[in-house]
Structure 1
Amino acid sequence: MFQIKVCGITSVRDAVNAVEAGVDAIGLNFYPPSPRSVSVETAKQIVAAVPQDVVTVGIFVNEQPARIREIVAEVGLDAVQLHGDETPETISLLPRVPYIKAFRVDGRGLLPIEEQLAKLHEQARRPEMVLFDARTPKNYGGTGQTFDWRIAVEFTKLPAMPPLILAGGLSPDNVASAIRLVHPKAVDVASGVEDSPGRKSREKLFRFVENARSAWMEP
């Protein structure tokens, strides 16, 4: 679906800057406790301001499927990202758009992730992509914390798994080394390109994209 996604876009200005920097996806957060959350009306303005080939992803945390369907239809989102503890039953009721399942990685490693993906495959539908983020006690992403990237490396070696989006503490300074080590299908950044929560830095956006693309082009 995409290679570089900037999550937590809260304004048309930041969306335009991200597109000009070269991202191919933006994430719009519909989780009210997040400092990066947006209203449906703001999200509609942002989606209208970006080119159609830029993938627009709605981020949800334990939201009701009916509400997700409403927002996807009203805003015109291309995909959804589930960042909570959604069950296969919930996922079976999602709108028929591509979805990304986010996993918060901790010391338990891959076993709980593999088990949940197996359940999704059996009882609902597998995600088009999976996202690995750092697990923290009270937050669902956007913390700026990294996790042990070796766990992501192990995942990429497993057979028949969905493509991996690497997230969690990425920034212009470490995204190239992360790509070289993990070889993910895509990367996702939020706080690593911000001046303050919800306000993106144009300079950091450009450096992040440049460093990521350069790393992927290396032999």
Structure 2
Amino acid sequence: MFRIKICGVTTVDDACAAVQLGAEMIGLNFYAKSPRYVSPEQAQVIAAEIPQTTGVFVNASAEEINGIAKSVGLDWVQLHGDEPPELLADLRSDLPIIRVRCLDERGVGAIADDLEACRTRGREPAAYLVDATVPGQYGGTGKTADWAALKNYRDWLGEIPLILAGGLIAENVAEAIAVVRPDAVDTASGVESEPGVKDAGKMQTFCEASAAAFGKEDVLP
């Protein structure tokens, strides 16, 4: 399982820099309305140059997800929209699925209910990514989630890995890791100079802070 994921990468240079600076997973966004969108053709070029990629999808069909995953050679897929639990059963069985849920006024109970629905009507996700809630937006908002509400996530996720996202930057990621103790962290806007354009300095400080907080001895791969 990866620990540091940088999402919304749009160029080969940014992807390679992110990996060199310590990111273990690169997210490629296939949601056409996102400023971080990449076409499958662009994604193929990026994926060929880096070790691991996750494809980010928002309310796409299983046919589209499976097709892009195959053509690009994705290692993971991330469902970042309002996909029904049944969709998970229609995805390729060899593709690990990251199920994204936003922490809203319903609290963690809604995420626990979603996990049960996936288990009974679809397929158990390989990991859950918890993001902050911003109505009408699917990630990359820069808003932080309620870390304290996630402190006891093992009670409802069990051994399923938790990826923490939402407004994480170099200056707050250590605190977030200390409070939540997630299995991994994810950032997009937190390491950008503008939407879709990564900043090498921000990526470096984010990866360094994350690695230190996770207790890694070596910051650079």
What is the TM-score when the length of structure 1 is the normalising length?
A: 0.95
Question: RMSD across aligned C-alpha pairs, in angstroms?
Answer: 1.2
Tell me what 2:219 maps to.
Answer: none
Q: Distance in 1 between matches of 2:22 and 2:75?
A: 18
Poorly superposed stretches of 4+, deviation over 3 Å: 156-159
Shift of 1:125: 1.1
Distance 2:167 2:109 in 1: 22
Q: Which runs of 5+ in 2 are unaligned?
A: 217-221
Within 5 Å, give how 1:140-219 maps onto structure 2: 140-158=138-156, 160-217=158-215
One-letter code aligned to 1:102: V
**Deviation of residue 192 (structure 1)?**
0.3
Distance 2:106 2:150 in 1: 13
Task: Tell me the percent identity.
Answer: 47
Q: Is the 8 A contact 1:156 1:182 kept in 2?
A: no
Which residue of the partner structure matches residue 124 of structure 1?
Answer: 122
Q: Deviations over 1:106-138 (max 9, x none)?
A: 121011111110011112211111000001111
Instruction: Give the superposition deviation at 1:157.
Output: 4.0
Following superposition, the deviation at residue 161 of structure 1 comes to: 4.7
Q: How many residues align?
A: 215
Residue among 110, 113, 117 paired with 2:111: 113
Q: CA deviation at 1:13?
A: 0.7
Q: Which 5+ residue runs of structure 1 have no aligned equivalent?
A: none
The secondary structure found in structure 1 opposite 2:193 is strand
Q: Which residue of 2 aligns with 1:32?
A: 32
Amino acid at match of 1:38: V
